[in-house]
């Protein structure tokens, strides 16, 4: 017997049911399921560096809807959560939160207390602390942030199995990350090399191709005169970076450029510094750019690197890792001139060099300002410089066409949602110009599990790395000692030294399926979940997270890591402007949950088609709340009618017709969810639902109330059936309201109820159209007469079109269904469409 509250309400249902779900364990992954019976999700681990925003709510709702659908179809859903807490975002937040900065030269302080916990004053100068102390603070803050994230995700109703929680800095992740790297190394998929590297001079890590971006910046062409050594005059070049003149190693022009044919193979002397450099030809030089001939410096930009490599030029680097000019001039550079810029920042050096060139008369004319794209680290504030350093790389096809083709082919094995997102992947893979740089000169990350022997001169031997056993992972080479050595041999001649770097955060998060699935730690579990079914993520990180995951899986397993990639769109402001704190228009997810209810917010998220950028809309949330409320009310209404007899059947054509429509909805919704299109499932279900409430229920209401005209049980049973099915169709999208209504007459959760299947009663859905046409005309008559919809109709004359059977039935049905109609006549007519004449009962009042 149904237990329906007098006044159904949405208030408080989130807390009530999420608590019950935990107790009943309905989200628990059943690891006894076979691989075919499992639906495994490679949940994106959110970066734990502050607060959750609407973007999280948006995309995680989409995944949860899919997860809940799959669970109802009988799959054991592997739905983990992870925190991406290693890496620079956390370091930055720790610096700002505690007012400290990491200085590896500092000694460890036992029981260190940071000067602040949250919001140090603006004039506070960060204090340097040791690396171990810094890492302790990282751990502390990360734990704090993760608590807040978990609370919000629970409130959002994510059906994740929280026992599967991981963090990308935890021991398990470090072990997986180090193991995978060592295997890459053993198969020669990873290597270290001394090479020009993009370098952020502020954060001082090496930067990978995927992490840099172009920004338009003002610059200026400076025209400089290089002196031909054959005495035949000067060659003029344009440069935006005169400060690198001392690093110049050659001039280059296009091989077909007629103007420079005579000078190819000759040499010139650089202005100020007097270094003799060759004039060379290379097809990358553009005749229409500047004077058509460029100076090659080590290194001004990535083109310089290409020229340097392909033309086998010497290195004459002058920029240090801190972004300043080095103190000693490279060989052959005029020492006095160089002393003028030694130690200066790039900007200061440029100013000084321009002054000197002006004095010497080697600069022709004034500098000409331009806007040009400059490479930046995506989180950085100053342009990237290129320095030579030893770094670790993982092969990703950037310098190997076979591997590249193989990875493009892997992209075709994946099913993309929406399909056009694959182009972004291919575009990226085909445009790679180097291997994946995975080493970072940072602190809060997974250390490279590597030591190096130190030779008699105290220099590390990078060609003979010392590796740990997999069984000992994870290790920290800065504290652990390799086999065969003792700790007092650290950094001593003849001893060993640990690799100081940490792995790129993507090098760990690209292994999220392995971390969540406990690769090698629990082979039985791993075999049941890998390759996974679904990777949900934002389209902005296809080039990083998605691609890196493909690379790792390709190397380690020779397969794709998942069958489907589901790409979510962005959240835009209602006015299409960026939401920002400074404008004060940022809304917090928790506030919205409280105002509209979680289901309403989820409704807004689920209304957006997969992959489409979507405006933030509180109006949509209001609609969602209305929908959730309606589900409760319609359920209450149907239960209030009383139960049909046990032997009742849906035998009225009108009721069968409604269920036939519902069958189509079940089909469409199932199809939508199965293809990761939660929005289509919602749209179909919702539009049926409103039709059901507004038209069908109004139509059969009077029959369901009273046994007088027959067909009462058919109506009750049809109503009950439809509501029951609708609960289940909506359950993945509006988990709280559906659970609330479902539990009025069920002991167990709607979320583990079987997904609805079609009824196949063979009803004729078309039958409803003429009946509803009559209903609409009666309503219109009442509205035009400005009377209540409850007003009685004295006579209703229905002129059916061409006496077709459905039309006849419509008349008969209308006669019985509409309880407030006293007399109905059905007239066969020859009009094109059905029409009615409605005569209302005059009001008794006064």
The interface with RNA within residues 667-706 (CB under 7 A) comprises 677, 680, 683, 687, 690, 693-694, 697-698
User: Contacting RNA (CB under 7 A), which of 33, 408, 467, 787?
Assistant: 787
Where would I find the H helices in 361-415? 401-413
Span 586-625, contacts to RNA by CB under 7 A? 607, 609, 612-615, 617, 619-620, 622-623, 625
Nearest residue to 568 via CA among 153, 61, 81, 59:
59
| Residue 129 or 813 having the CB closest to RNA | 813
CB atoms within 10 A of CB 313: 20
Stretch 229-268 residues interacting with RNA (CB under 7 A): 237-241, 252-253
Is residue 807 part of the contact set for RNA (CB under 7 A)? no
Hey, which residues between 272 and 291 contact RNA (CB under 7 A)?
Answer: 284-290
803 contact partners, CB below 8 Å, separation of at least 6: 828
| Exposure letters 274-292 (e unless 16+ CB within 10 A, then b) | ebebbbbbbeebeeeebbb
Question: In this chain, which of 109, 776, 803, 805 binds RNA, going by CB under 7 A?
Answer: 776
Q: Smallest distance, Å, CB 39 to RNA?
A: 22
Region from 89-97, 166-174, 524-532, 776-784 binding RNA, contact rule CB under 7 A: 776-784
Q: Least distance in Å: CB of 289 to RNA?
A: 3
Q: Which of residues 137-156 bind RNA (CB under 7 A)?
A: none
**Min CB(354)–RNA separation in Å:** 14
Nearest CB to RNA, comparing residues 124 and 372 = 372
Residue 347, phi then psi, degrees to nearest 5: -65, -45
CB of 290 to RNA, least distance (A): 3
The distance of Cα 397 from the centroid of its chain, to the nearest Å, equals 24
Q: Which is nearer to RNA, 219 or 330 (CB)?
A: 219
Which residues, at least 6 apart from 400, have a Cβ–Cβ distance to it below 8 Å?
none
Pick from 464, 469, 503: nearest CA to 483 = 469
Shortest spacing between CB 413 and RNA, in angstroms: 19
In 3D space, the residue among 814, 452, 476 whose CA is nearest the CA of residue 654 turns out to be 814
Q: Do the strands 276-281 and 267-269 form a parallel or antiparallel pair, or are they unpaired?
A: antiparallel
CB 643 within 8 A of CB 723: no
CB of 373 to RNA, least distance (A): 6
Distance CA 739, CA 748 (A): 9
19, two tokens: 């608590």
Site for RNA in 354-383 (CB under 7 A): 372-373
| SS3 of 354-403 | HHHHHHHCCECCCCEEEEEEEEEECCCCCECEEEEEEEEEECCCCCCHHH
Q: Which is nearer to RNA, 187 or 822 (CB)?
A: 822
Give me the 521-540 binding string for RNA, x by CB under 7 A, dash otherwise: ------------------xx
Nearer to RNA, 480 or 695 (CB): 695
| 190-199 and 835-840 beta bridge pairing | unpaired
d(CA 41, CA 532): 6
Cβ neighbors of 196 (< 8 A, separation 6 or more) are 298, 299, 305, 308, 386, 387, 388
Q: Which is nearer to RNA, 300 or 411 (CB)?
A: 300
77 vs 293, beta carbon nearer RNA: 293
Q: What is the DSSP letter of 209?
A: G
Question: Which of 640, 642, 710, 842 touches RNA by CB under 7 A?
Answer: 640
With respect to RNA, which residue has the nearer C-beta, 454 or 571? 571
> What minimum distance in Å lies between the beta carbon of 321 and RNA?
22
* Contact mark string toward RNA, 21..60, x via CB under 7 A: ----------------------------------------
Is position 770 an interface residue for RNA (rule: CB under 7 A)? no
> Which is nearer to RNA, 219 or 498 (by Cβ)?
219
Q: Cα(636)–Cα(633) distance, rounded to whole angstroms?
A: 5
From the list 82, 87, 300, 763, which residue makes contact with RNA (rule: CB under 7 A)? 300
Of the pair 423, 822, the CB lying nearest RNA is at 423
* C-alpha to C-alpha distance for 146 and 140, rounded to whole angstroms: 10
**Residue whose token pair is 């159209």:** 769
CB-wise, 11 or 36, nearer to RNA? 11
User: Which 447-476 residues touch RNA, going by CB under 7 A?
Assistant: none
When asked if residue 428 is in the footprint of RNA (CB under 7 A), the reply is yes
Which range binds RNA by CB under 7 A, 69-77, 124-132, 144-152, 788-796?
A: 788-796
Half-sphere exposure of 556 (CA within 13 A, CB side): 25
Cβ distance 8 to 636 under 8 Å?
Answer: yes
């Amino acid at each position: 017997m149904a237990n329906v509250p007098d006044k159904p309400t949405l208030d408080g249902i989130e807390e009530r049911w999420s608590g019950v779900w935990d107790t009943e364990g309905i989200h628990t992954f059943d690891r006894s399921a076979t691989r075919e019976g499992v639906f495994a999700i490679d949940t994106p681990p959110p970066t734990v560096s502050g607060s959750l925003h609407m973007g999280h709510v948006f995309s995680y709702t989409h995944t949860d809807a899919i997860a809940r659908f799959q669970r109802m179809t009988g799959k054991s859903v592997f739905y983990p959560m992870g925190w991406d807490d290693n890496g620079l975002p956390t370091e930055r937040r720790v610096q700002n939160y505690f007012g400290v900065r990491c200085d590896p030269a500092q000694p460890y302080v036992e029981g260190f207390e940071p000067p602040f916990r949250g919001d140090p004053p603006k004039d506070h100068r960060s204090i340097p602390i040791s690396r171990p102390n810094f890492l302790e603070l990282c751990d502390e803050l990360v734990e704090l942030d993760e608590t807040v994230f978990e609370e919000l995700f629970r409130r959002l109703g994510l059906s994740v199995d929280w026992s599967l929680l991981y963090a990308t800095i935890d021991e398990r992740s470090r072990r997986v990350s180090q193991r995978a790297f060592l295997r890459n190394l053993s198969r020669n998929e990873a290597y270290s090399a001394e090479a020009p590297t993009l370098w952020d001079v502020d954060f001082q890590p090496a930067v990978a191709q995927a992490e840099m971006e172009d920004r338009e910046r003002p610059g200026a062409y400076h025209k400089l005169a290089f002196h031909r050594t054959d005495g035949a005059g000067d060659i003029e070049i344009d440069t935006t970076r005169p400060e690198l003149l001392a690093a110049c190693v050659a001039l280059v022009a296009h091989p077909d450029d007629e103007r420079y044919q005579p000078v190819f193979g000759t040499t010139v002397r650089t202005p100020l510094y007097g270094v003799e450099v060759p004039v060379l030809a290379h097809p990358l030089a553009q005749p229409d750019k500047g004077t058509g001939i460029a100076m090659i410096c080590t290194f001004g930009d990535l083109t310089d690197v290409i020229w340097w490599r392909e033309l086998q030029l010497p290195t004459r680097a002058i920029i240090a890792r801190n972004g300043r000019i080095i103190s000693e001039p490279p060989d052959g550079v005029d020492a006095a001139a160089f002393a003028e810029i030694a130690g200066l920042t790039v900007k200061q050096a440029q100013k000084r060099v321009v002054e000197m060139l002006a004095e010497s008369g080697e600069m022709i004319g004034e500098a000409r300002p331009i806007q040009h794209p400059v490479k930046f680290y995506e989180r950085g504030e100053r342009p990237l410089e290129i320095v030579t350093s030893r770094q670790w790389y993982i092969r990703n096809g950037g310098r190997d066409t076979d591997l590249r083709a193989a990875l493009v082919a892997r992209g075709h094995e994946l099913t993309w949602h929406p399909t056009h997102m694959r182009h972004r992947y291919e575009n990226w893979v085909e445009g790679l110009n180097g291997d994946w740089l995975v080493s970072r000169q940072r602190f809060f990350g997974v250390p490279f599990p590597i030591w190096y022997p130190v030779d008699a001169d105290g220099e590390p031997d990078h060609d003979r790395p010392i590796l740990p056993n997999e069984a000992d992972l994870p290790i920290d080479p800065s504290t652990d000692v390799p086999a065969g050595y003792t700790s007092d041999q650290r950094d001593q001649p003849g001893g060993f030294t640990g690799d100081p770097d940490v792995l790129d955060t993507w090098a760990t998060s690209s292994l999220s399926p392995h971390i969540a699935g406990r690769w090698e730690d629990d082979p039985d579990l791993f075999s049941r979940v890998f390759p996974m079914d679904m990777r949900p993520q934002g389209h902005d990180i296809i080039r990083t997270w998605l691609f890196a995951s493909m690379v790792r899986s390709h190397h380690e397993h020779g397969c794709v890591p998942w069958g489907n990639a589901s790409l979510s769109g962005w959240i835009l402001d209602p006015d299409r402007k960026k939401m920002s704190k400074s404008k004060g228009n940022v809304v917090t997810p928790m506030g919205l949950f409280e105002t509209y209810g979680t289901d309403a917010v989820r409704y807004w998220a689920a209304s957006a088609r997969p992959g489409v950028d979507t405006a933030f809309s509180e109006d949509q949330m209001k609609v969602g709340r209305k929908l959730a409320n309606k589900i409760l009310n319609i359920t209450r209404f149907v239960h209030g009618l009383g139960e049909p007899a046990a032997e009742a059947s849906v035998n009225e054509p009108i009721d069968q017709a409604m269920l036939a429509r519902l069958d189509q909805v079940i089909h469409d919704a199932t199809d939508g969810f199965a293809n990761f299109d939660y929005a289509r499932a919602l749209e179909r279900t919702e539009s049926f639902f409103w039709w059901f409430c507004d038209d069908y229920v109004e139509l059969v209401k009077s029959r369901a109330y009273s046994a007088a005209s027959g067909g009462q049980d058919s109506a009750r049973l049809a109503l009950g059936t439809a509501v029951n099915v609708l609960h289940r169709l909506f359950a993945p999208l509006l988990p709280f309201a559906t659970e609330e209504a479902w539990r009025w007459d069920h002991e167990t959760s709607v979320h583990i109820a079987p997904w609805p299947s079609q009824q196949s009663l063979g009803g004729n859905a078309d039958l409803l159209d003429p009946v509803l046409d009559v209903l609409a005309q009666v309503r219109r008559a009442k509205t035009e007469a400005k009377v209540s919809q409850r007003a009685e109709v004295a006579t209703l004359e229905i002129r059916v079109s061409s006496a077709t059977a459905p039309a006849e039935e419509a008349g008969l049905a209308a006669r019985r269904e509409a309880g407030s109609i006293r007399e109905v006549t059905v007239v066969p007519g020859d009009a094109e469409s059905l029409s009615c004449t409605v005569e209302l009962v005059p009001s008794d009042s006064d």
